[in-house]
Structure 1
Amino acid sequence: MALPIVVGVDGSEPSLRAVDWAADEAALRGVPLRVVYASLWERYEGASLADDLGKPSDQVMAEDIVRTAARRAQLCRPGIEVSTDVLPEEPEYALVREGRRAHALVLGTRGRSGLVEMLLGSVSLAVAAHSTCPVIVLGGGQDNRPSAGDHGRVVVGVGDKGTDSAALSFAAEEARLRHAALDAVRAWRCPAHESTDHPLLAGEPARLHEQHASEVLEKALEQVPTDVEVNRRTVEGPARRVLLAASHEADLLVVGARRNPGHLGLQLGRVAHGVLHHAACAVAVVPERT
């Protein structure tokens, strides 16, 4: 049986946009959609849920939330198989567990203190940091849907994983399904101690580092199917800054995250953490095999 796309909902507008994305994702992949509400969500996200729905908190019913989300998904993509569930658990634990039996998790976010487009909700951050399947996070101010194709681009950050990169494989499949171009980006930097003021040697260290970045990129792209249009980009600068700049021209930004089974803290890395907070498009965090 095909693994479903799972979307976490809480009744807020960002989570309903996540339903749209998840419905499109399920339709693109030909898999079921599972709509999940974790009933203790308000402990983390506060009274804003009730405010979003225009009701007192004691009138916000989980069954209504999942029923509305399922109906929206079926209107968005008629014909997809949709199931719902209400889980009486802490949301991050419930969603991480759901991810063990999912192709991908899709989540919206809600920021606070007037920084809706910049701050990531605590539940989405925790799930992205611990899920064993890819997690697609739509920021509070984003209205991205794969069917819209505003940019027709999927951007993936290429690290040192090489041809065994789960993030690159996921990004290539997303690009293929959407008939979008895949922008494979490799950031590089020339350490300050390698620079020189000698006029005959100036620029040589930088050239070597850029050449190495190009070689790493070419090696990694050997795994990409030939029917995917690939744009290769080596850019000087910190990976976080380079990928954030690329996100302004993308429908989806894909980054990898290594998992350490013995570590209990957030397992994202600085680059994934940074793009989740500040990217201009949806972000997919893909666990890398260790």
Structure 2
Amino acid sequence: MTIPLVVGVDGSEASLEAVDWAADEAARHGVPLHLLHAAAGESEASDVIATAALRAGQRAPAVQLSSEVVPEEPASALVDQGRNAFALVLGSRGLGDLAGMLLGGVSLAVAARADCPVVVVRGAAEHRQARFGRVVVGVEEGEGSGTAVRFACREARVRRCPLVAVHTWSRRPGRHRVPPPPNWYVPEAPRRPPAQVLDDTLREAAESPGEPVVTRRVIEGPARRALLDAASEADLLVVGARRRQGHMGLQLGLVNHALLHHAPCPVAVVPQI
């Protein structure tokens, strides 16, 4: 049985944009699409889910479609669904969010807690409707990017578009990205040069050598700025997230938090597994 792509719907315009994006994504990957509306005691629930189902069916008639209404708190219901989902797709803001918010509370909470990839659909129509033909992935040093790069490669492959892999580094103390001089004693193994970090991660994550076409960008400077710049001409921005066992707080990191609030295109947060 193929696990479904799950999209959260609440009747807001942002959630309907997420339904459109999710229908296209399910069609690309050939997976079922499951619509989930979660709210306690909402009499309009059947209308909300019916409207979303009609929209998804018209958008991608070949996709196997199912829907569900659950009387639960939305973030918890979506996180539970994510334990057996291809990915979770959410709008950037919901009906209950305050005017002026950059990102809805449910989307932020789910992106921070889910066990599967979470895509927050945001940005102008040209970004949501895949008009740029480019996927961007952020690559960090350590073990936080392998799953994200594999996800990004798969997205670029099914979209038949190039992948832009971005790795940033800084000379500031405490954020060492440059190997020490040859005669300098260091009590631990020297760090890899920035270009090697990027090459190693891409090589380890590659499923099919040479596919997709990858453009490498090694940039000295803040990761937030470099990724936002790259996302300005992208259909999807992919970042990794580390999940700390037993930690119940928001596990996103400052860079991912900023990207979810400010990126000009949909953002996929992929937990490292």
TMscore range, shorter length: 0.7 to 0.9
Say if 1:164 and 1:128 are closer, same or farther in 2 by CA, change over 3 A.
closer
SS at the partner of 2:233? Answer: coil
- From 136, 159, 165, the equivalent of 2:140 is 159
Q: CA deviation at 1:142?
A: 3.5
**Equivalent of 1:110 in 77, 93, 97:** 93
Query: CA–CA distance in 2 between the matches of 1:164 and 1:236?
Result: 18
Residue in structure 1 matched with residue 29 of structure 2 by the alignment:
29
Shift of 1:271: 1.3
d(CA) in 2 for partners of 1:98, 1:27: 20
Residues 127 and 265 in structure 2, CA contact (< 8 A), matched pair in contact too: no
TM-superposed deviation, 1:241? 1.6
Q: State the match for 1:135 in structure 2.
A: 118
Residues 1:165 and 1:63: Cα distance change in structure 2 (over 3 Å)? same
| Aligned counterpart for 1:188 among listed residues 159, 162, 169 | 169
The SS at the match of 1:69 is helix
Once the two structures are TM-superposed, the CA of residue 178 in structure 1 deviates from its matched residue by: 0.5
Q: Among the aligned pairs, what percent are the same residue?
A: 52
After alignment, is 105-114 or 274-283 more displaced? 105-114
SS at 2:57 equivalent? helix
Superposition CA RMSD, Å: 2.5
| C-alpha spacing 1:144/1:32, structure 2 compared with 1 (3 Å) | farther
**Which residues in structure 2 correspond to 1:165-180 (within 5 Å)?**
165-180=146-161
**Aligned residue runs from structure 1 range 239-250, under 5 A:** 239-250=223-234
**Are residues 166 and 193 of structure 1, via their aligned partners in 2, closer, same or farther at CA, if it must alter by over 3 Å?**
closer
TM-score of the two chains, using structure 2 as the length reference: 0.87
How do 1:32-43 and structure 2 match up within 5 A?
Answer: 32-40=32-40
> For 1:1-290, what aligned pairs fall within 5 Å after superposition?
1-40=1-40, 61-110=44-93, 115=100, 119-139=102-122, 141-143=123-125, 148-161=129-142, 165-191=146-172, 212-222=193-203, 223-224=205-206, 225=208, 226-289=210-273
State the alpha-carbon separation in 1 of the partners of residues 51 and 232 from structure 2.
31
Assess, with a 3 A threshold, how the Cα gap between structure 1 residues 163 and 267 changes in structure 2: closer, same or farther: closer
Aligned residues: 255
Measure how far apart 1:39 and its partner are. Answer: 1.2
Secondary structure of the corresponding residue to residue 100 of structure 1: helix
Paired position in structure 2 for 1:54: none
Distance in 1 of aligned mates of 2:14 and 2:172: 41
Question: How far did residue 149 of structure 1 move?
Answer: 2.8
Secondary structure of 2:240's counterpart equals: strand
Pairwise CA distance, 1:193: 9.9
Compared with structure 1, are the counterparts of its residues 135 and 193 closer, same or farther at alpha carbon in structure 2 (3 Å cutoff)? closer
Asked whether the 8 Å contact 1:135–1:286 carries over to 2, the reply is yes
Question: For the Cα contact (< 8 Å) 2:144–2:241, is it kept in 1?
Answer: no
**Structure 2: gaps (5+ residues):** 176-189
Query: Could you say what secondary structure the match of 1:26 adopts?
Result: helix
What is the Cα deviation at residue 249 of structure 1? 1.1
Residues 132/113 of structure 1: CA separation in 2 closer, same or farther (3 Å cut): closer
Name the aligned partner's letter for residue 224 of structure 2: R
**Equivalent residue letter for 2:245:** P
Structure 1 pair 73/149, CA: closer, same or farther in 2 (3 Å)?
A: same
